[in-house]
């Protein structure tokens, strides 16, 4: 019982650190409230040299990308759970991702050179799209399973001593019109800004490239897990850009989750 409570505590702490990093990300990307944002150095007088800034920023984003993708693979999870209880695996993933994000926010080198600036109604439209992106991203986690994605469900199931139910294939709400609404939300939040600087542009380009690569791995795992059901979904539903005047959709039956489906 003590071990199960410790797992739950670990999951709650990891979730708390994730929440802090997510809230900080809102301020960081949008240049709101936080002491250090994507365009404002802590030490305002000391702008980094752009070459150094590009290298440091790319290293920080690569660290996040490698951790986030390697730890999401089934083979890595199998190895990790030889040392850790399976109920801690997702919380560990969430904890490390959040700590790396906080490191990125802390060590980020702004490159303030302006790339575009828009004013008036166009600026307000872009700000609206930016916040819509964050809203879509947050809402999408609830459409898949927020508490499962962030490791709390696994800890609660372990506390009850019951079996963790397998991952099921879902297409609720936004998942009916795009396969990856969470990533679509991030892309909108990263790109829609009335004042784009060189540093922000680097952030948006590198993260877009990472998302496009990471989705290939994620979809490979989803095809392995759900087979023809996911392949049919892939043919029917666009990846990131909703089809506004789409083809007629056919209803599909839910498929049972085969053993070894990714979490
Ligand atoms: C961080 S979520 C991102 C989901 C999706 N890529 C998106 O952008 O909305 C990643 C997890 O969602 C799972 N996943 C993605 N699409 C899913 C679906 N249609 N049904 C169930 N799980 C899904 C993946 O297996 C992975 O474990």
Interval 187-226: pLDDT, tens: 999 999 999 999 999 999 999 999 999 999 999 999 999 9
Residue from 97, 184, 222 to probe ligand 1 pocket by mutation (most atoms less than 8 Å from CB):
222
Answer whether residue 259 is part of any domain.
no
d(CA 39, CA 36): 8
pLDDT score at 260:
45
Task: Evaluate: CB of 175 within 6 angstroms of ligand 1.
Answer: yes
pLDDT score at 262:
46
Residue bearing the bigger pLDDT, 136 or 41: 136
pLDDT score at 215:
96
Task: Evaluate: CB of 140 within 6 angstroms of ligand 1.
Answer: yes
Answer whether residue 242 is part of any domain.
no
Answer whether residue 171 is part of any domain.
yes
d(CA 12, CA 147): 11
Average pLDDT over the chain reads: 90
pLDDT score at 263:
44
First-to-last CA distance in the chain?
25
Answer whether residue 257 is part of any domain.
no
C-alpha 253 chain-centroid distance? 28
Answer whether residue 252 is part of any domain.
no
ipTM of the complex: 0.97
Residue bearing the bigger pLDDT, 165 or 122: 122
Structure tokens at 127: 């700000």
pLDDT score at 259:
44
Element (H, E) at 117: strand 114-117
DSSP 256: P
Using one digit for the tens of pLDDT, what is the confidence trace for 162-188?
A: 887 788 899 999 999 999 999 999 999
Answer whether residue 243 is part of any domain.
no
Answer whether residue 260 is part of any domain.
no
Secondary structure class of 111 (helix, strand, coil): coil
Long-range contacts of 158-163 (CB under 8 A, 24+ apart): 158/4, 158/7, 158/8, 158/85, 158/87, 159/4, 159/5, 159/7, 159/8, 161/4
- The atom of ligand 1 lying closest to the CA of 185 is 8
Phi, psi of 197 (to 5 degrees): -105, 170
pLDDT confidence of 130, banded at 50, 70, 90? Answer: very high
SS3 content of the chain, % helix, strand, coil (to 5): 65, 5, 35
Answer whether residue 262 is part of any domain.
no
d(CA 13, CA 199): 32
Task: Evaluate: CB of 200 within 6 angstroms of ligand 1.
Answer: no
Residue from 18, 137, 138, 144 to probe ligand 1 pocket by mutation (most atoms less than 8 Å from CB):
144
pLDDT score at 95:
97
pLDDT score at 64:
97
Task: Evaluate: CB of 262 within 6 angstroms of ligand 1.
Answer: yes
Using one digit for the tens of pLDDT, what is the confidence trace for 223-234?
A: 999 999 999 999
Task: Evaluate: CB of 171 within 6 angstroms of ligand 1.
Answer: yes
- Enumerate residues 6+ apart whose C-beta is below 8 A from 51: none
pTM of the predicted structure, to 2 decimals:
0.89
pLDDT score at 162:
83
- The atom of ligand 1 lying closest to the CA of 263 is 27
pLDDT confidence of 248, banded at 50, 70, 90? Answer: low
Provide the β-strand partners of residue 79.
Answer: none
Long-range contacts of 129-133 (CB under 8 A, 24+ apart): 129/188, 129/192, 130/30, 130/188, 130/189, 130/192, 130/193, 131/189, 132/185, 132/188, 133/184, 133/185, 133/186, 133/187, 133/188, 133/189, 133/190, 133/192
Q: How far is the CA of 22 from the centre of ligand 1 (A)?
A: 18
Domain range holding 122? 2-236
- The atom of ligand 1 lying closest to the CA of 215 is 6
- The atom of ligand 1 lying closest to the CA of 221 is 25
Structural domains counted in the chain: 1
Q: How far is the CA of 221 from the centre of ligand 1 (A)?
A: 10
pLDDT score at 88:
93
The mean pLDDT of 58-71, rounded to a whole number, is 96
Task: Evaluate: CB of 170 within 6 angstroms of ligand 1.
Answer: yes
- Enumerate residues 6+ apart whose C-beta is below 8 A from 116: 195, 196
């Amino acid at each position: 019982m003590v071990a199960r409570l410790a797992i739950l505590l670990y999951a709650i702490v990891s979730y708390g650190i994730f929440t802090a990093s997510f809230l900080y990300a809102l301020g960081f990307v949008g240049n709101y409230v936080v002491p250090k944002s994507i365009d404002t150095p802590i030490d305002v007088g000391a702008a980094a040299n752009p070459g150094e800034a590009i290298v440091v920023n790319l290293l920080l984003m690569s660290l996040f990308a490698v951790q986030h993708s390697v730890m999401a693979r089934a083979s890595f999870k199998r190895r990790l759970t030889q040392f850790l209880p399976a109920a801690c695996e997702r919380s560990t993933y969430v904890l490390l991702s959040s700590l790396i994000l906080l490191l990125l926010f802390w060590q980020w080198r702004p490159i303030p050179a302006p790339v575009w600036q828009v004013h008036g109604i166009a600026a307000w439209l872009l700000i609206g799209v930016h916040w819509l992106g964050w809203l879509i991203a947050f809402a999408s986690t609830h459409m898949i399973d927020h508490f499962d994605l962030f490791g709390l469900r696994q800890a609660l199931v372990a506390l009850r001593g019951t079996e963790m139910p397998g991952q099921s294939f879902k297409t609720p709400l936004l998942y009916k019109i795009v396969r990856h609404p969470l990533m679509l939300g991030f892309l909108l939040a990263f790109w829609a800004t009335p004042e784009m600087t060189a540093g922000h542009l680097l952030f948006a380009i590198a993260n877009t490239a990472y998302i496009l690569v990471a989705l290939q791995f994620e979809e490979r795992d989803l095809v392995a897990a759900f087979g023809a059901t996911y392949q049919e979904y892939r043919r029917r539903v666009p990846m990131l850009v909703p089809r506004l005047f789409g083809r007629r959709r056919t209803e599909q039956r839910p498929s049972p989750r085969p053993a070894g489906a990714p979490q």
